[in-house]
Amino acid sequence: MRDHLTLIDGTGKAHKPLDEDAVSPDFQSVLGFMKPVLVNTMGKMGKNLHIFVFSAKGENGQVLGRASAEGRFSVQVAETKASWRLPLASLVSERTCPSCQEKLSGAFKFCPYDGASLSQFTAK
């Protein structure tokens, strides 16, 4: 699977997973602890769980993406591609619309109900 897996950053540059010997022993230990926990939590689906590690930085030393900042990335396995927009809603605080007081994802820039701008208001 490793040979067919690619992370595509927000600029469209492709990145391959790190070889196991390029991952620090400390992080390998963390993964060694996490995998059985995830497998047990996921049941039958977890038996085919594979964890791959990518470099956090590109060739130019720039961070590839921050989960709590704006951006996007994709993961491609062979011909199948899944894409995400950042920030990941689960990692940013909710916002409250200043107009309708609706609680919204912190990833929203505008209220989907009344169109009010959320950019000038802090997350709550």
Per-residue pLDDT, 104: 94
Query: Are 15 and 58 within one domain?
Result: yes
Are 104 and 97 spatial neighbours (Cβ–Cβ below 8 Å)? yes
Are 108 and 92 spatial neighbours (Cβ–Cβ below 8 Å)? no
Query: Are 107 and 61 within one domain?
Result: no
Query: Are 80 and 96 within one domain?
Result: no
Alpha helices in 1-124 (DSSP H): 25-42
Per mean pLDDT, which range of 13-22, 84-93, 97-106 is the poorest? Answer: 84-93
Query: Are 71 and 35 within one domain?
Result: yes
DSSP category for residue 117: B
Query: Are 54 and 111 within one domain?
Result: no
Counted domains in the chain: 2
**Which is higher by pLDDT, 58 or 21?**
21
Query: Are 18 and 39 within one domain?
Result: yes
Domain with 38, as residue range(s), is 2-87
Query: Are 83 and 105 within one domain?
Result: no
Which H helix or E strand runs over 104?
Answer: strand 103-104
